[in-house]
Amino acid sequence: AALSTNDASDCDNLLAGPFPVVYTNDPIPQHVGFDTESVPDAPWISKEPGPATVQLSTMESSLIVHLSHCRNGKVPPALVELLHSRDVVKVGVGIDDDMLELYRRLNLVGNCRFDLAGIGSQPDRMTGLKTLALDLVGVKMCKSKKLARSDWSLLPLTNKQLAYCARDAWAGAAVMDVLMQRRPDVFGIEEIMSLVNAQERSMEDIDQRARSRKQAKIALKNLLYECKLRGMEFKGRTEVDDIEAQRSIDYLQDALGVLKPDGIFVFDPVKLELFDDSYASS
């Protein structure tokens, strides 16, 4: 069952009522599938680009919060509390990117984030939700680019949009459920909570590092362009024959290395256990 709302009081009641598996006063930690949909930056859409919906899902139910039309611009308090909680594991693919957008646009803080893309990922390729759903849950997910790029600020959303966004959050919950059943010693909620909460950065820190990295990239690009204009001889893509310029280039490259995204935990796809060198770049 999928439930959609843009009313803060409805959301509070749903999280406490027909969505009991997600958030209760029970001290036993829980997990939810998490995803967002955003208004695309497209000329045919008048709404400002940015997060439009938040989807939360268990195996039984999905809740879609229509942020674009929350009454009086108020984000439901229950959603704020759930995202902030370190007692509920939020699972998804590319989850830090989604959480960062929510933080930047709506000042929502997401804690206890577990990225499923690390299951069987490679250094140059992260595992997608479509692959995980097929391999672990046995569900074939057809991804529609047209729907993904549709206007998520519509009120109400179409049935196809509701099914599309609820499904992705459900798939995250379903994949996690299978992992917990197969390897409870690795993917048990307490084990994942311990792993994630010991490593994850705050959203404020992730935001600042991302902004600093962007500035360093721009500075490096401008510096290399300036070197070309000045007629410096390049020995490589970022190696020049000027000592001072090279020192600045090296400094910026070092900064980019320090500020690179932390990455995600990587697990063996067969044994479903954490690799020793497990924190790979995303």
Which residue has 């268990």 as its token pair? 58
Show pLDDT as tens, one digit a residue, over the chain (282 residues): 555 655 656 666 655 543 433 333 444 448 999 999 999 888 877 788 889 999 999 988 889 999 988 866 688 888 999 999 999 999 999 999 999 999 999 999 999 999 999 998 876 778 999 999 999 999 999 888 899 999 998 888 999 999 999 999 999 999 999 999 999 999 999 999 999 988 899 999 999 999 999 999 999 999 999 999 999 888 888 889 899 999 999 999 999 999 988 878 889 888 888 875 555 455
Structure tokens at 271: 């044994």
- Count of alpha carbons within 13 angstroms of residue 176, beta-carbon side: 28
User: Under 8 Å CB-to-CB from 69, ≥6 apart: which residues?
Assistant: 6, 153, 155
Q: At what angle do helices 203-229 and 95-106 cross, to 10 degrees?
A: 90
